[in-house]
Structure 1
Amino acid sequence: MNTAERSKLPPIDGARLWRRLEELSTFTRADIAWTRRAFSPEYTAARAWLREAFEAAGLQVHLDAAGNLIGRRPGRRNELKPLATGSHTDTVNAGGRFDGILGVLAGLEVAHALNDANITLEHPFEVIDFLCEEPSDYGISCVGSRAMAGMLSPDMLAASDGQGDTLGQALQRLGARPEALAEADRRQDGFAAFVELHIEQGPMLEREGLAIGAVTDIVGIRRAQLFFEGRPDHAGTTPMDERSDALVAAACVIRQAQRLARQWSRSTPHYVVATVGRMAVSPNASNTVPGQVELTLEVRSNHAPVLKEFWEVLERRCSPAIERLGVQWRVEPRTHVDPVPCAPLVTAAVERAAQRLGLGCRRMPSGAGHDAMYIAHTGPSGMIFIPCLEGRSHSAVEWASPEQVLAGTQVLAATLLELDRQPG
């Protein structure tokens, strides 16, 4: 087969792809729609279905030591590093029908289309269902992609679900081999390129009437727990000027975090968001001044200095007011993941693929974490976004149309074919 034939876009069967999305979505808890947690019975059954679908598309299928389900298609030059695509099939509770599974099934459809058209790429081609991208009961996310990047540590394997079960034991039940985890590490051999298709999980593409997002970088995330120590007193008899109200101090931080994130996102070219997602108040009573507050603050940005400077500025802005309230406070860091740039090679290929197909496209960051950020340690990595209805995700109302799904999969196929023509 000559170069012109190999560069021809294989016909993507949109009906087949949509049918598979519908079928995989049926593997869900009966009591909570669109819920397929990693390691659950629904997840195990979905994995069995997916293995059969991989095999039906002519892929050679295996489960690696970290529990990633991989379908491989040989290339004309099998000594080359493989091209790869994929995502995950686990969900958060009531997580929706497209987050994760779109990227896996779009990759499967590309493989099936190549098979139907009798097109053999220069590179081997892999479609990967990464294990447990969403936060698990063991407190660890991106389990499979971390392992491929050599970042799944013994401490993580020993993490417990609170009932005595460990992540390592869960991997064994799934058929993985945590004792041989080094076999799943792909850093040495690596990928020629990795491309992940995903719904945007935000409103920008829909708002701008665009079909495709060429992702430039994936945000870093810094989380910390904040503790406020005041003094519990009677709410009716303690004068306002004599209170040490821990909740008022916490409110100061919450308000300033929101103001700072809005200010920086408007005045700088960087993506910045801040969220308080958890809070505990004690005593939690209507007739008692709150004496203790604990909350979790998360900051995300695609610019590493922001993740450091945000906390420093927040402390400077809040400390004087909190001191006047007579409240003590401290910040305890919990997790810190740096931003990951997407490979310019991949981002540019996505843009050209969209242009070739006559689809509107813009460059944009990802505000969510993805498996692609860990796979970036194994070779050039990038992402394609398609719109989702009203930007909603991690929700039962999550939706993308068949036309949007098809367009994204066509861009994925065109991107992979262009990357296949790159040297080496």
Structure 2
Amino acid sequence: MIPNSPIRADRIGGDIDALAAITEPGRPWTRRAFTRMFLTGRKWLEMAMQDAGAVTQIDAAGNLIGTIPGRKPELGSIMLGSHSDTVPDGGRFDGIAGVVVGLEVARALRDQGIVLDHTLEIVDFLAEEVSIFGVSCIGSRGISGTRPAEWLTRASDGLTLEQGIAQVGGKPHTPAQRDDIKAFLELHIEQGPVLQNQQLDVGVVTAIAGITRIEIIVEGRADHAGTTPMSARQDALTTAAWIALGVEELGKALSSGAEHFAATVGEFEMTPNAANVVPARVRMLIDARAELRDDMTRFIEELANGVAAISEKTGVTVSEPRIVSDNPPTPCDADLLNILDAACETSGARHRRMASGAGHDTAWMARITKAAMIFVPCVDGRSHSADEFAATDDIALGASVLLDAVKALDIKLQGNF
């Protein structure tokens, strides 16, 4: 750690352990949004925010926000945070680290006797992970005014999202969009192995990759697996396999440059799925992620050409790739990136710029304010797993970077920035 730093690793470690312990019995580390455990975790966070000197509230979108007024509240706020909900069996650090670091920055400022000119806010966004309602980033979409109105009617086990937001203390029909947040910063574990492999302390995130999901249907013909000659088959599975290999090959080609790109056949459904029947139909869902929109455009075009060529070669009908969902990449604010680079230098953090292949609340906050994030290493890049782990000292060094960045922002936001 940095000598004489006001950031205390012991407080960070204690907070993470306390929150992680609030989990479904026998299922570390499970605290899904809209559950009893989630509300228990929220109550712990509320008290921790108040102990750090913040006034707490649940906003209309269902986000828990701790507010520390600045000396010039008319300047607006600087917001730090992430989310406390988890995926099933895998959320000891994912999200939690970012919320806890926001708390620690507030405590470090208090310990130094520093009151910012801007108001400081620490946020725990509602349901960043895919929720029981099948949608994610519910809180950050709400605060950015981008949550679709029709989502409120989505239901799970007799509960609607409208009711879920109300149960956590939100007001689902009250606009939650903000225009007074002047900057947003989020710390997150990397969820990948790059920082560990390169022996770096911090990743300064340049962009949140856009995510496009593409469906392909392969229509073959069911036949007896034992009696139909190999030369007379229309096997949907073998054609789908050629396509899956083509997706991997194209993804590797596009990821060979400096910018992030990844493509995965993540869903694969075959019918009739019987050992003695030639497969008749395969549904494939491709998850493609790109830092640059041009790379995604190229992927979609080359995928369509490749699928047509494979269909012609095998004689099996393949649908034209259908885009199911398409979110463009979100660049982080250039001014904030420069401030974060400088804060890394001040803190002595070995750092590099890198894109995020995963989605984050930062992508939605960027719709309404300057937004950026940093990564800290996690062991072997593991995440969304019970084995997810990040060293407390690594998280604390990231907290030092954010502390320096917040102090710089408090000054720069008042000038020609």
Q: TM-score range by the shorter chain?
A: over 0.9
Match of 2:224 among 229, 234, 239: 234
Q: Given that residues 69 and 129 in structure 1 are in contact (C-alpha distance below 8 angstroms), is that contact kept between their aligned partners in structure 2?
A: yes
User: 1:98–1:199: 8 Å Cα contact kept in structure 2?
Assistant: yes
Partner SS, residue 135 of structure 1? coil
Which residue number in structure 2 is paired with residue 179 of structure 1? Answer: 173
SS of the equivalent of 1:83 reads strand
Q: Is 1:123 the equivalent of 2:118? A: yes
Deviations 1:303-346 (A, max 9, x none): 01222221210121221222332322223322111100000111
Can you give the 5+ residue segments of structure 2 that lack an aligned partner in the other structure?
none
Partner of 1:166: 160
User: Deviation digits for residues 324-383 of structure 1, max 9, x if unmatched?
Assistant: 323222233221111000001111111111111112110111111100000001111000
Question: 2:264 is matched with which residue?
Answer: 275
User: What residue is the counterpart of 2:49 in the other structure?
Assistant: 54
> 261, 282, 289: which one pairs with 2:251?
261
**Is 2:149 the partner of 1:154?**
yes
Counterpart AA for 2:286 = L
The superposition leaves residues 161-207 of structure 1 with CA deviations (integer Å, 9 ceiling, x where unpaired) of: 3x443211211121211011x1x101xx2422111001111111111
CA RMSD in angstroms comes to 1.3
Aligned 8 A contact 1:10 1:413 in 2: no
Contact 1:87 1:197 in 2 (8 A): yes
Query: Any idea what SS the aligned residue of 2:225 has?
Result: coil
Within a 5 Å distance, the mapping from 1:15-54 to structure 2 comes to: 15-54=10-49
> In 2, distance between residues paired with 1:212 and 1:221?
24
TM normalised by structure 2 equals: 0.96
Pair 1:337-2:331 in alignment? no
Pick aligned residue for 1:87 from 79, 82, 91: 82
For structure 1, list consecutive stretches of 5 or more residues without a partner in the other structure: 1-8
CA deviation map 1:119-140 (0-9, x unaligned):
1011101000000000112111
Q: Among residues 337, 340, 358, which one is paired with 1:347 in the alignment? A: 337
**1:14 maps onto 2:4 in alignment:** no
Match of 2:304, SS state, is helix
Residue correspondences, number: 410
**Candidates 116, 137, 159, aligned match of 1:142:** 137
1:296 counterpart letter in structure 2: L
Aligned with 1:313: secondary structure? helix
Partner of 2:102: 107
Is the 1:66–1:171 Cα contact (8 Å) retained in structure 2? yes
Match of 2:211 among 187, 200, 221: 221
Q: Does 1:377 align with 2:367?
A: yes
| Between 206-215 and 314-323, the greater mean CA deviation after superposition | 314-323
3-state SS, counterpart of residue 178 of structure 1: coil
Q: Which residue, out of 227, 235, 247, partners 1:245?
A: 235
Contact 1:192 1:380 in 2 (8 A): yes
Distance 2:265 2:355 in 1: 22
Q: Give, as a single letter, the amino acid of the residue that structure 2 aligns with 1:264.
A: L
CA contact (8 A) 2:130 2:136 kept: yes
Q: 1:423 to 1:39 in 2, by over 3 A?
A: closer
Shift in Å, 1:26: 0.6
Show CA shifts across 1:223-275 (max 9, x none). 12221111010011111111111111111111001000101111x33211001
| SS at 1:138 equivalent | coil
C-alpha deviation, 1:33, in angstroms: 1.1
Identical pairs, percent: 41
DSSP-derived class of the 1:202 partner = coil
8 Å contact 2:378–2:389 — kept in the other structure? Answer: yes
Listed as ranges, the matches of 1:347-366 within 5 Å are: 347-366=337-356
Alignment-mate amino acid for residue 191 of structure 1 = I
C-alpha separation in 2, matches of 1:10 and 1:179:
44
Task: Work out the CA distance in 1 between the residues paired with 2:413 and 2:84.
Answer: 32
In structure 1, the partner of 2:309 is 320
The letter for the 1-side match of 2:210 is G
* Higher alpha-carbon deviation: 9-18 or 124-133: 9-18
Amino acid across the alignment from 2:374: I
Tell me, what secondary structure is at the counterpart of 2:74? coil
Q: What's the secondary structure of 1:384's corresponding residue?
A: strand
Local SS of the residue matching 2:249 = helix
